[in-house]
Structure 1
């Protein structure tokens, strides 16, 4: 059948032929009936958007038609627009009440809309009222729906709820307190007054939207709960829900080059995902998770036994993984591959250990101490003095000892006029800088949820080291100083030395001889407590090389001053001779 939806874009060339029925001068009543029939036609073929269009056209001609409102309410319920469906059927009921007519299908539609809005108590009261209002066969549909609503209420408020409340009593109290606190604020007050009562800034005209910071463990918990929820209610189709959610931000689907389909596909995908979430909430309201879990394990002792067995299996596997990690870390340290060891530790501690609780990983603190101290020792073992007899004649000896690049080209950034990367930052043009920024943001997020000081020392050292590799020396020193303060909480001498070493490297790279000397003297004092002959020898050689650099600078400065003084003497003699010749003339 040909669609009669008008085309708002003016067609090019010869216009299409006008349908015959549009040429006839229909009365508004007949045209209203045509649109209503078209809406019923498309609704029966599950083309809900077209059906909604024609129902709206019919109601624009005759707004008091309760039958069209009733059909549009049914169409909206199919599209998960339950609020609009309830509004339409309520309006149809009020129209009939004005005519002093009671219509059972419209009243049943109101009950269905309330039921799908998860208002089970209100739907039950409405159904009881309609059973008293009607008689005969009209009551049967209300009684059938009443049986379903009663069973759903029984599922929500039965013995299963008592066990759920008993197991999560503290959590429910916390949630209730938050709800009461949120409701205590009067929404009718001005924005500045609401912000003042909440202890927030009331000066900004546009309030800042704070991002919700979640720990990695909480993110993993929510992701797991989301998967379990979909598995319970969607069975084997739960993977399709995950796929639909990922499509919301899929750059392959929403290509910037596709100007016409990008917004259409994005809106369509979001609409279908919202509809799916609404239907899942309906299922959850009728049969909550605790009800399904209780019916799956009617024997509570057996359910607890299965849970403990699962936890013990997970704990045993985690302990095996911990031993494997320790073995790999020791092997990498023995092989001297510090770069690979650092990446491996970051991967294990940042992606695996942060997701483990003390119940599963009972020796978590001891494990973290072992891993981070082994990594620190591997970093310290790099501080070796090579056998170089020409060290005293090399002006870059200190940089070589500290494993810093001696090429000066890495310090210079060539600015190109008109190049946008010059203004927006180097990380846009250089992928290595972009990776360093991503790593720093990852470490900064981890440090917000770090519980132990030894972990904070490691994170601050890695942040400073990443800044050092990207030639951001001030940020490196700032992170290293924060790491030195944090080492006092855990009394870790090795991490304190490594943080001081970062400051030494930053000052040496910037050719700040005096500050390098101060940092080296600070490290030398601290090494008395560390009692490491290798590190003491390394620091002593660094002090010697720094003094050599200082002497070279001093000599070059004195030679330059002599040249300047000689040049000034020559210029003064030349001016005096010229003046004397002028006087003689």
Structure 2
């Protein structure tokens, strides 16, 4: 007797769990098949579809041409969204039955209609139901007639009056999608190098580069909103459960790599259940499309247009109130000189809220962006001043003046028993490095879709500043120079000055004092153009501190003394 897992059951030594009685007897194949079918039906009634399919598969191995096994397996496969496999089982059963009209033909034909219907093949399902209704008589035709009524109503919903306004509104998109589908169907027999050469691309690489699709933040938000609306339409209050299930797929609190036994099982289980929910939601959408539901909800076009205008006015009014509140908060933080909180607030507002707004919702978007970034630049520039009791001959005076950290020593990691970070792999990166890389990646993605030069200046300045905080000084200088070039497009001297100061900081951290002096000269010219006394005084004091450091370094270098003495002795001998 074999188990359901295909292994011979051998009782082990010792006291273990007792085996079922029916598994200890060497049954004939006919009796064993009946036992497996009964267990499959039992688990199917209990809703444990996977167990039911396991027993039905074992029964099918013993009797491959049993029609009722294929029928029951098709029903269970449809319950977990595997409709294609269910239809294949129905076709296999009908092939065994051929054209006979026995007692098993009726449920098999009915199951075939249901499988075609759940595959959203309404035309095929209608044809199958119509043919089957003509084959049978008496009460058996009623089930097929009921299905014909449902299919006719679904076709009427999909191709009825609601389809016309949808096509008129999205005609350009439909044409574009149709062109894309036609291009996919075309078979180009030319070699790859010839295709790339005619398109002006590189024809040397044997493996072509696959470009990943870059979606704008607005497109990501639009798809997220459309996904939520679709679930709200079809799942009512259960749409939150679907959203929760979607987040579970990437939740590190559930999928813990440290739990090696349960990690893969939970991951496959969550993905499988989410896939089943999505498949059934698509079935509902195919039977009653969203454009039909919207048409029923707003059948009167005049009332619908009035509702849309009122909704637009409300959104515009609320957006304006939010923008006024944002400007008020930014000015307050600038007065409080809370630079870190101000920078974080600006990044949150501009990166998560303003970037999603269109000119239809926010007609004053350009003016608002200028106001926010200029206010932030003023706040950043105000921190560069000479303190009242500042002495340039003090130790580390130059670093204190530029707000540079004098010592950047990484703390040794402290392992805490029970903390998750204690059990991380040894090759894991530093948490601060991971955070900085993630911030840079987000800012670079925003750079792709940035429209205005002042916004690009801000993004490049933030990237350079993150490189500076992470001790990547060469990258900081490179990005800061790009920001200076970008600031020329918007004539922003203030952002040019801030980026020049970043270059000074990076060169000073690398002890490249000559380059730092050159950058300070450029900063002095910008400060003069800005006609700001505080910035001019700050640059002059920075230059004085840098001169003092250079002189002190040259005096403390013994090799320079020897070279000067040797050069002096040679001149005297001459």
What's the secondary structure of 1:104's corresponding residue?
helix
1:76-125 alpha-carbon deviations (Å, 9 max, x no partner): 11121100110001111111117686923212211111110011122122
In structure 1, the residue matched to 2:163 is 161
CA distance 1:168–1:12, shift in 2 (3 Å): farther
Q: Could you tell me which of 402, 410, 418 is aligned with 2:408? A: 410
Task: Give 1:541 shift.
Answer: 2.6
1:200-226 alpha-carbon deviations (Å, 9 max, x no partner): 777777766654332222221111111
What's the secondary structure of 2:408's corresponding residue?
helix
CA–CA distance in structure 1, aligned partners of residues 186 and 495 of structure 2: 49
| Structure 1 unaligned blocks of 5 or more | 570-585
Task: Give 1:394 shift.
Answer: 3.4
CA–CA distance in structure 2, aligned partners of residues 12 and 266 of structure 1: 35
| TM-score normalised over the length of structure 2 | 0.87
Q: Could you tell me which of 165, 175, 178 is aligned with 1:176? A: 178
- Asked if the contact 1:461–1:479 (Cα under 8 Å) also holds between the matched residues in 2, the reply is yes
CA distance 1:203–1:446, shift in 2 (3 Å): same
Q: Identify the range of structure 1 (41-50 vs 57-66) with the bigger mean alpha-carbon deviation.
A: 41-50
Q: Could you tell me which of 118, 135, 141 is aligned with 2:143? A: 141
In structure 2, the residue matched to 1:540 is 540
1:57-85 alpha-carbon deviations (Å, 9 max, x no partner): 22111111112211211111112110011
In structure 2, the residue matched to 1:531 is 531
Q: Identify the range of structure 1 (12-21 vs 528-537) with the bigger mean alpha-carbon deviation.
A: 12-21
Q: Identify the range of structure 1 (378-387 vs 192-201) with the bigger mean alpha-carbon deviation.
A: 192-201
- Asked if the contact 1:477–1:503 (Cα under 8 Å) also holds between the matched residues in 2, the reply is yes
The aligned runs of 1:79-118 (5 Å cut-off) are 79-97=80-98, 103-118=105-120
Task: Give 1:411 shift.
Answer: 7.1
- Asked if the contact 1:185–1:194 (Cα under 8 Å) also holds between the matched residues in 2, the reply is no
Task: Give 1:511 shift.
Answer: 2.0
| Structure 2 unaligned blocks of 5 or more | 414-422, 570-574
In structure 2, the residue matched to 1:574 is none
In structure 2, the residue matched to 1:316 is 317
Task: Give 1:12 shift.
Answer: 5.4
Task: Give 1:301 shift.
Answer: 1.8
- Asked if the contact 1:248–1:269 (Cα under 8 Å) also holds between the matched residues in 2, the reply is yes
Confirm whether residue 508 of structure 1 aligns to residue 511 of structure 2: no
| TM-score normalised over the length of structure 1 | 0.86
CA–CA distance in structure 1, aligned partners of residues 361 and 173 of structure 2: 21
CA–CA distance in structure 1, aligned partners of residues 60 and 190 of structure 2: 39
CA distance 1:396–1:250, shift in 2 (3 Å): closer
- Asked if the contact 1:114–1:123 (Cα under 8 Å) also holds between the matched residues in 2, the reply is yes
- Whichever of the two has the greater Rg, that structure is 1
Task: Give 1:464 shift.
Answer: 0.8
- Asked if the contact 1:399–1:509 (Cα under 8 Å) also holds between the matched residues in 2, the reply is no
CA–CA distance in structure 1, aligned partners of residues 535 and 155 of structure 2: 73
Task: Give 1:270 shift.
Answer: 1.9
In structure 2, the residue matched to 1:225 is 226
1:135-167 alpha-carbon deviations (Å, 9 max, x no partner): 443322221111111100110011111111111
CA distance 1:18–1:540, shift in 2 (3 Å): closer
CA distance 1:96–1:520, shift in 2 (3 Å): same
1:222-275 alpha-carbon deviations (Å, 9 max, x no partner): 111111111111111111111111222222222334333333332222222111
The aligned runs of 1:447-466 (5 Å cut-off) are 447-466=447-466
The aligned runs of 1:330-409 (5 Å cut-off) are 330-388=331-389, 390-391=391-392, 393-394=393-394, 396-405=396-405, 407=406, 409=407
Task: Give 1:400 shift.
Answer: 2.6
- Asked if the contact 2:464–2:479 (Cα under 8 Å) also holds between the matched residues in 1, the reply is yes
1:39-68 alpha-carbon deviations (Å, 9 max, x no partner): 223222322222212221221111111122
* Equivalent residue pairs, number: 554
CA–CA distance in structure 2, aligned partners of residues 22 and 402 of structure 1: 81
CA distance 1:333–1:185, shift in 2 (3 Å): farther
Q: Identify the range of structure 1 (283-292 vs 208-217) with the bigger mean alpha-carbon deviation.
A: 208-217
CA–CA distance in structure 2, aligned partners of residues 14 and 172 of structure 1: 68
Q: What's the RMSD between the two structures over aligned residues? A: 3.3
What's the secondary structure of 1:371's corresponding residue?
helix
What's the secondary structure of 1:159's corresponding residue?
coil
- Asked if the contact 1:443–1:459 (Cα under 8 Å) also holds between the matched residues in 2, the reply is yes
Confirm whether residue 291 of structure 1 aligns to residue 292 of structure 2: yes
What's the secondary structure of 2:162's corresponding residue?
helix
- Asked if the contact 2:113–2:128 (Cα under 8 Å) also holds between the matched residues in 1, the reply is yes
- Asked if the contact 2:71–2:89 (Cα under 8 Å) also holds between the matched residues in 1, the reply is yes
- Asked if the contact 1:318–1:361 (Cα under 8 Å) also holds between the matched residues in 2, the reply is yes
What's the secondary structure of 1:383's corresponding residue?
coil
Task: Give 1:197 shift.
Answer: 8.8
In structure 2, the residue matched to 1:305 is 306
CA distance 1:255–1:190, shift in 2 (3 Å): farther
CA distance 1:100–1:147, shift in 2 (3 Å): closer
- Asked if the contact 1:411–1:471 (Cα under 8 Å) also holds between the matched residues in 2, the reply is no
CA distance 1:286–1:336, shift in 2 (3 Å): same
CA distance 1:278–1:202, shift in 2 (3 Å): farther
What's the secondary structure of 1:451's corresponding residue?
coil
In structure 1, the residue matched to 2:416 is none
1:345-396 alpha-carbon deviations (Å, 9 max, x no partner): 11111121112121111111100000001111111122212234742x3363
